Amino acid sequence: MTAPGRLDVHAHYVPDGYRAALERAGHDQPDGFPWIPAWSAEDHVQVMDRLGIERSLLSVSSPGVHLAGVDTADLAREVNEEGRRAVVGHPGRFGLLGSLPLPDVDAAIAEIAHCADRLDVDGFVLLTNVDGTYVGDTSFEPVLRELDRRAARVLLHPTSPPCWEHTSFDRPRPMVEFLFDTTRAVVDLVLNGTVARHAALRIIVPHAGAVLPLVAERVNAFGALLAPEVDVLRDLGRLHFDLAGHAVPRQLDALLTMTTSDHLHYGSDFPFTPEPVAAGAAGRIDGADGLSASLRDNTERLFARERRKD
């Protein structure tokens, strides 16, 4: 690995206890993905070295911690503690985005405090929807308000939409459904005023903004009728975006019509994105003049703790 290396805001971990919980809940092929990928902190560091990644922010991917037959609060605490052990065990290589036990709002607020005050997390991960309730739903407002109070950094992560049985055509949902669920969730967060209302909250939208760049003007036009008090394009421009997946060249070009380059961040999506695919995506980013260095600078600024509230 050459220094300075990449800073990865979209990387996942699958500790043994979480893997067992997925299997017990019938998610041995999560979201139609063919398997639960193998993972260990040691192997992850080796992949990071080969991909030129200096530090990865670990988060739990879809389907998250709200699983059938599992105590959601207990599982959230378990994966967060496991994530902290990976951070401590590999100094300088990992950070942690804490998982929250939604839809239990009170438990989620308690877990925010535990993660921020005891585990020293870098931020949090929220799914686009939890059992069909989207992140912008009014029932989740107390959680978003607490995250805003703490000026939290939040990675929004897609999951299967509640209608996936009718729309996925039995194909893995990460291929198409994830992109549309991300778009659906973000449009709701903007139109219902959540993004404007929580100005200290910094949201990272995955996969180069999904479909948002293509529909931004359309949403803006409808927003003038549905929510005239909302400045749609301004609030979309407040968001941050990771480039996990196949962002270069086509998605990135579209994304930069909606946001500025200082709101972009590197993401590998490892281990759900296999190393060879992640390597190819990283190579295309490296081929874009000056992009890799600016991504690192952007992430350093976004996660600079001295600029944030207590």
pLDDT (average), residues 291-299: 94
Distance CA 273, CA 224 (A): 38
Q: Is 54 helix (H, G, I), strand (E, B) or coil?
A: strand
pLDDT, residue 273, reads 97
Which structural domains are found in the chain, ordered by start?
Answer: 6-304 (3.20.20.140)
Residues sharing a CB contact under 8 Å with residue 32, sequence separation 6 or more, in sequence order: 160, 168, 170, 171, 172, 173, 174
pTM of the model: 0.95
Q: State the pLDDT at residue 30.
A: 96
- Predicted local distance difference test score (pLDDT) of residue 252: 94
9-38: pLDDT as tens digits = 999 999 999 999 999 999 999 999 999 999
Residue 1's pLDDT band (cuts 50, 70, 90): very low
User: What is the mean pLDDT of the segment spanning 214-238?
Assistant: 97
Longest Cα separation, the chain = 53
Burial bucket for residue 257 (CB in 10 Å: 0-12, 13-18, 19+):
exposed
Query: What pLDDT was estimated at residue 290?
Result: 81
What is the pLDDT of the chain when averaged over all its residues?
95
Q: Cα(252)–Cα(246) distance, rounded to whole angstroms?
A: 9
Across residues 278-296, what is the average pLDDT?
91
CA distance 44 to 36: 15
Q: What is the pLDDT of residues 154-213, one digit of tens each?
A: 999 999 999 999 999 999 999 999 999 999 999 999 999 999 999 999 999 999 999 999
Whether 2 shows a pLDDT value over 50: the answer reads no
pLDDT in tens, 241-283: 999 999 988 899 999 999 999 999 999 999 999 999 999 999 9
